[in-house]
Amino acid sequence: MIVVRTSGYLFDHQIRYPVWEASNPKLSDWLARLNLGGVILLGGSAAELLLRTQQLQEWSKTSLFIAADIEEGVGQRFTGATYFPPPMALGEIAKSDLKLAVKYAYKMGEVTAKEALGMGINWILSPVVDVNNNPDNPVINIRSFADSPQVVSELTKAFIEGAKNYPALTTAKHFPGHGDTSSDSHLDLPIISHNNERLENIELVPFQAAIEAKVDSIMTAHLLINAWDKENPATLSQSILTGKLREKLGFDGLIVTDALIMGGVAKLAKSEEIAVKAVEAGADILLMPDDPEMAINSVYNAVKSGRLTVERIDQSLNKIWQAKNKIFNHNNEKLSVYQLSQKEDRDIVKNILKYSIRTSNNLPLKTKQETSKRNLIVVDNLLNADFLERQMPAFIIPNLLDYNLQLVDQNTFSYVLEDDRETLLQIFIRGNPFRGNAGFNETAKGAYHRLLKKSIIKGLIIYGSPYILDWFITEMEPDIPWVFSYGQMAQSQAIACQTLFNLSASELRSMSQNLGDVFI
């Protein structure tokens, strides 16, 4: 009933967060001795994951769940695999063509499941089915499909059905709905004060849809839902997990907690008590307890003392065996890691990006030849920007047009405001767990105001947050051409820059021979 976190990398010296990520000696000991349910992995490439998952399965007595937070395709977490734009890109498409959005949600589920299994991941911690009806939400944001429960429901069903082409588990999260919060449950416990009717009409709708589509698991949220339980967050609430989810909604799959080390629950009680309370509430799987051995012992003691029944434990074990049976007993062909991220998979990404892009109606940006120009790229944090590789289109395309790169983050942005060159401004900032909207706080807004006043911004591309776009549309002169893309990765940069400047792939290739295959 326990899933622990470890690194997707092969070697312990690659572990960056030792408090959260079990080292190899610790992990192999746990797997040999504790009969853990599974692991959740972060970091590494597709190839690393394949070798890593083989190693983990060998270390373990029983076949493991191997889970990952792959909400934007496997490529979001593991390089080399297909990297989809955030789910809200599909919601954008749904605004004009729900059928097309549903088609791509299905494909996204299918490709994600195929690639996950190709490298040994059998439990997809996705889709996010939260309805993002709070633009200030620092943690869900574009990870959600949309702000409408109906659209989220349709896309959720399609994603799950697509994934069902392969024997991997899907997960609807975060029950009963994390979309209307303005604080981050990684850090604190957000409180939801809506009444029962509102929750049933908005937040619960996509979960019902997921259950109808036979989602394999549902992840609980660390949220205090006042209308249902004034004392316990959903993760630890029997009336919510058992009363609402099991009994009222009739979900009979796996209930998995969100990570128990997160601030939203970890601060509430001792970790022994948290483990017991989660099981008591109705959770089948405890994700990332502080100490797995301690969690097992405290659940065992709770059974011995009569606080938990043996039947309650057996009920969870049965569900776990059923889920593992789905994963390990099937006749599907074994997928080869070499077959991941083929052109047809990447074309789906390209199409989602193409149909979800937003632009001003005064394109293209025409660049003056003789002027001194800069390509000012603002990122949230230079040390946490995986999209910043060499040869990325966001640098290459402006560079071919003589824009000089200036790459800054929050710590250096204010210093480059004095530069008076004509500026292409590219912003890579989105809400993110732990960091929230840190890159777009009041100081940053002040800096953008100063830039806008100087009338040097000749073009604007925003990658990630439509809420930041909304701010700019209100604040900037309407004659500035702009492009907005939900994604931040190479394909997204190519499509956005090519759209802004109206440049085809063949025009680009006539300017440089050394361009990869991401250009459209």
Active-site residues, by number, are: 186, 258
- Give 46 or 260: the residue with its C-beta nearer to its own copies: 46
Q: What are the start-end ranges of the E strands in 260-321?
A: 286-287
- Give 13 or 99: the residue with its C-beta nearer to its own copies: 13
Please identify which residue in the block is written with the tokens 């769940």.
Answer: 65
CB of 293 to its own copies, least distance (A): 18
CA distance 404 to 117: 42
To 5 degrees, how large is the angle CA 327–CA 330–CA 334? 85
Q: Which helix (H) or strand (E) holds 154?
A: helix 149-163
CB of 26 to its own copies, least distance (A): 13
Positions that interact with its own copies (CB under 8 A):
9-20, 44-48, 50-52, 55, 79-80, 337-338, 340-341, 346, 382-384, 388-392, 395, 404-409, 411-412, 415-416, 418-419, 513-518
CA distance 487 to 462: 9
The residue count of the chain comes to 520
For residue 219, give the DSSP letter: E
Helices (H), 60-130: 88-96, 98-118
8 Å CB contact between 192 and 178: no
CB of 59 to its own copies, least distance (A): 11
- Give 227 or 505: the residue with its C-beta nearer to its own copies: 505
CA distance 487 to 133: 20
- Is residue 80 left, alpha or beta, with left meaning phi > 0 and alpha meaning psi from -120 to 50? left
- Give 45 or 485: the residue with its C-beta nearer to its own copies: 45
CB of 376 to its own copies, least distance (A): 10
To 5 degrees, how large is the angle CA 71–CA 74–CA 79? 130
* Torsion angles phi and psi, residue 422, rounded to 5: -60, 135
- Residues whose CB is less than 8 angstroms from the CB of residue 181 and which lie 6 or more positions away in sequence, other chains included: 134, 137, 139, 140, 190, 192, 223
Strand 171-175 with 65-68, pairing: unpaired
CB of 480 to its own copies, least distance (A): 23
- Give 50 or 152: the residue with its C-beta nearer to its own copies: 50
- Give 172 or 392: the residue with its C-beta nearer to its own copies: 392
CA distance 170 to 192: 26
CB of 20 to its own copies, least distance (A): 8
